[in-house]
Amino acid sequence: MRSRKIDMLHGPLVGKLVVFALPLAVSSILQQLFNSADLAVVGRFDSDNAMAAVGSNASLVNLIVSLFMGLSVGANVVVGRLIGQGRKEKINEAVHSIILIAIFSGLIILGLGEFIAPMLLKMMNVPKEVLSLATLYLRIFFFTMPFIEIYDFGSAVLRSKGDSSRPLYALIASGIVNVCLNLLLVIVFKLGVAGVAIATVISNIISAGIILFFLTHEEETFRLDLRRLKIKKEYLFGVIQIGAPAGIQSMVFSLSNVVIQAAINSFGSGGIAGGTAAQNFEFMSYFVINAFAQTATTFTSQNFAAGEKQRCKKIYALCTLIGLAACFTLSSIFIIGRHQFIRIFSTDENVIHYAMIRMCLVCFFELLTGTYEISGGCLRGMGCSLIPAVITVLGTCVFRLVWVATVFQMHRSYWVLMIVYPVSWVITGTAVSLAYFITRKREFAAIADKVRQN
């Protein structure tokens, strides 16, 4: 058990940050590769309409999942604070509350989703020729929600103590099952869109089961006993205080992408399929940034709770430097080999045309997301979750909605729609970074005053 922990409070930081962030990045990239397998299988072995049906759900699924993934950030910080403060006796209570919150939140969204799936897709202007297939996929997908939440919240508990490897192992196992089931259900049983959706449900059940196994066999402080599940108010409020702004930010962020997706849908199935194919590479580049943002949150939460101001400063600087450099390297690889990468999904020239535009205008500049994600992660680690949420909603989400309603309406072209991404990243990154330095100065001054008083 000891070998799975990372001591975030002592010793050199560079190696520990990389060791912690790498499994996070690999986990997310693998997840995206498994999702890409859904698209590749239906695109190659079914039809472009089937691929568009799965792709048209991407922004909507991200919107729904993002809210509760944000709550899991709150779980990470709650446990991280207890570790930093040395309150080991409270950690087990927090773990049991967190897992039950995950189960309830997943069941709630499952119930709501089954009723509102068709309405949501119609609001997004999904083309009639793919609407029935898209609805079928989304309704089946909603059955994954309780298991996605168990995986996310359970992984947050493990990561809060420095264990980012075992969530990766769970994801690898479930991902392999997902790919195999995709091939079996689509190619052999000819289930098409329904087949990839069913494979997604089964694979998420497996990942959630593995995480529960890890937690029920943990060291005593973190060990989960399913008979003792109980939500305590202090941990529920802690998760909501930190996680709700992060979740709402991600949800509103995804909402703006849903609006953009609706605009993309106006370019037909070729625009949808091409944008969806290119988006896979954007996600993989972004996941490198997101891994270092999560790392910054986790390390900052422990060190801030322990009053380690200088280590908090180093965590921000190192995560930003390494994260942006790694993201730029990966994005460059995708841009250089873009023609070969896109043909994995489709050989249709119309699909490829739209995919090329998106890759050059969005994927190449993905590193800009690090300017607000990593500084925002540090702010959440300090317990200031509302500030980056508000700024990101205004600088990214609201700006994109205005852009689609004004600039895009005057110049209705694919590239005008895509350029909103890097422009919004520059605005948001500048604002959140400034907020981080201002807040850090204030919070660190408060720590210094507290030390002098003691």
What are the pLDDT digits (tens) for 153-187? 999 999 888 898 999 999 899 989 998 999 999 99
Q: What's the domain range around 296? A: 9-453
For residue 326, give every residue at least 6 positions away whose Cβ sits within 8 Å of its Cβ, in sequence order, or none.
Answer: 25, 288, 292
For 393, which DSSP code?
I
Range name among 85-94, 254-263, 320-329 with the lowest pLDDT average = 254-263
- Residue 1 within any structural domain of the chain: no
In what helix (H) or strand (E) does residue 346 lie, and over which residues does it extend?
A: none
- Residue 62, in any domain of the structure: yes
Residue 36 lies in a domain: yes
Establish if 16 belongs to a structural domain.
Answer: yes
Count of domains in the chain? 1
Residues 6+ apart with CB under 8 A from 234: none
Q: Which helix (H) or strand (E) holds 175?
A: helix 166-183
Examine the pLDDT at 5 and tell me if it is beyond 80: no
The answer to whether position 3 is within a domain reads no
Model confidence, pTM: 0.77
Tens digit of pLDDT for each residue in 97-129? 999 999 998 998 899 888 888 888 887 778 788
- Looking at the predicted structure, is the pLDDT value of residue 53 above 50? yes
> What is the per-residue pLDDT for 231?
93
Residue 259 in domain? yes
Residue 67: Cβ within 10 Å count: 20
pLDDT of residue 1: 40
Question: Is residue 4 in some structural domain?
Answer: no
Residue 143 lies in a domain: yes
